[in-house]
């Protein structure tokens, strides 16, 4: 028996039954839940790390259309993988996914690992992700703990457990017949019912067994947000926009394409428009200025029709969409071509 035992108020079998019954009836209809194919489960789990479900839904199908198998992903150029990832952020994940695909194809003849221990040997796969993939795709009896599960378990036992105690408790509650569904049900409960600020205890399927019923103080306080104003130039001519590539050794978004950042024009009136953009703990107010010729010499005029194949930063994509150059459908508004690179 693990160190963190189940409180006497909680009957594990009953808990599993109630949670799974609720999950079967109320689980959100998410595209990656339609398949237990390990490639699809793996891609979805990597995309979902620190990323909203709505953003993942926007990119999941397109990524699988471009790279329908691990073999296709393994032979793809990194620039193409980053282009398909553009808008999801945390690009290190895409690079790791790409590296792991090469390992699976070259060192394992395209055979996926089956156990969480094996999955953890791949680049970009940590304890949570390995357990999620192995339990969902291969029914391994291994529990997952993410932020949602940790919050739910703390509230259920009514105290601020952490680290291995949470993993132990999750293992002790795990349903051995349906481990993948149970894990997804726990995460779903945390995402949709046992929400961080206002848990919906009246509609919670396990409320009878919950010790805190939402009365536990919010343990995980969000980091304070900072505000910053930044300015970017939008240069456009003859069916092209002027973009610059971030250094290959940049700590963030290395090698990706973005608009040139500028100091605000001294004789400015109003910018073309403003957008809001958040990265980790900083909220950016971004002013976009329509300027004639670029002062930068290191950038490049990129044909608008090539933009979908370019690894754009999330902010660049947002600005180009807002300006009507790059519509939400992914097809650029102007198809005339002057130059470009992907």
| Site of interaction with ligand SF4 (CB under 6 A) | 152, 155-156, 193-194, 199-201, 204, 206-207, 210, 212-214
The one catalytic residue among 45, 140, 188, 258: 45
What are the tokens at 51?
């990323």
Instruction: Find the shortest distance in angstroms from Cβ 99 to ligand SF4.
Output: 38
Query: Which H or E element spans position 284?
Result: strand 282-290
CA nearest neighbour of 267 among 286, 284, 289: 289
Of 155 and 235, the one with the shorter C-beta distance to ligand SF4 is 155
Q: How far is CA 157 from CA 87, 204, 211, in A?
A: 38, 15, 6
Please tell me what DSSP assigns to residue 12: H
**C-beta of 199 vs 314, nearer to ligand SF4:** 199
Of 191 and 254, nearer to ligand SF4 (C-beta) is 191
To the nearest whole angstrom, how small is the minimum distance from the Cβ of residue 195 to ligand SF4?
Answer: 8
Could you give the CA distance from residue 247 to residue 244 in angstroms, rounded to a whole number? Answer: 9
Residue 27 C-beta: closest distance to ligand SF4, Å: 16
3-class state of residue 176 by DSSP: coil
Q: At closest approach, how far in Å is the CB of 157 from ligand SF4? A: 10
Looking at the Cβ atoms of 133 and 193, the one nearer to ligand SF4 is 193
Query: Of 49 and 207, which has the nearer Cβ to ligand SF4?
Result: 207
Given phi > 0 = left and psi -120 to 50 = alpha, else beta, which region is 163? left
Q: Give min distance, CB of 196 to ligand SF4, in A.
A: 10
Could you write out the DSSP letters of every residue in 57-99? HHHHHHHHHH--SHHHHHHS-HHHHHHHHTTS--THHHHHHHH
Angle among Cα 306, 289, 225 to the nearest 5 degrees reads 95
Is residue 45 annotated as part of the catalytic site, yes or no? Answer: yes
At CA 135, angle to CA 175 and CA 122, rounded to 5? 150
Active site members: 45
């Amino acid at each position: 028996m693990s160190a963190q035992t189940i409180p006497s108020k909680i009957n594990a079998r009953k808990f599993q039954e109630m949670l799974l019954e609720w999950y079967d009836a109320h689980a959100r209809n998410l595209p990656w839940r339609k398949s237990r194919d390990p490639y699809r489960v793996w891609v979805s789990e990597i995309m979902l790390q620190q990323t909203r479900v709505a953003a993942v839904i926007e990119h999941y199908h397109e990524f699988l259309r471009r790279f329908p198998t691990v073999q296709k992903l393994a032979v793809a150029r990194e620039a193409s993988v980053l282009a398909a990832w553009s808008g999801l952020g945390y690009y290190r994940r895409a690079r790791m996914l790409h590296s792991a695909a090469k390992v699976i194809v070259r060192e394992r003849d395209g055979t996926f690992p089956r156990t969480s221990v094996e999955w953890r040997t791949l680049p970009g796969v940590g304890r949570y992700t390995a357990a999620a993939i192995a339990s969902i795709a291969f029914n391994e009896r291994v529990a997952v703990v993410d932020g949602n599960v940790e919050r739910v378990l703390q509230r259920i036992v009514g105290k601020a457990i952490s680290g291995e105690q949470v993993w132990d408790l999750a293992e002790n509650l795990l349903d051995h017949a349906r481990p993948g569904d149970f894990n997804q049900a726990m995460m779903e409960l945390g995402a949709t019912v046992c929400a961080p600020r206002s848990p919906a205890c009246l509609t919670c399927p396990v409320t009878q067994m919950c010790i805190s019923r939402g009365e536990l103080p919010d343990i995980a306080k969000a980091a304070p947000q900072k505000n910053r104003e930044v300015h970017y130039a939008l240069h456009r001519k003859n069916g092209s926009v002027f973009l610059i590539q971030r250094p290959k050794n940049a700590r963030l978004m290395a090698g990706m394409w973005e608009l040139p950042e500028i100091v605000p024009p001294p004789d400015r009136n109003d910018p073309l428009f403003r957008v809001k953009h958040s990265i980790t703990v900083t909220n950016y107010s971004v002013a976009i200025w329509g300027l004639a010729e670029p002062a930068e010499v290191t950038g490049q005029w990129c044909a608008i029709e090539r933009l979908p194949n370019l690894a754009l930063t999330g902010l660049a994509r947002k600005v180009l969409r807002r300006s009507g150059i790059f519509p939400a459908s992914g097809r650029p508004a102007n198809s005339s071509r002057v130059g470009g690179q992907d």
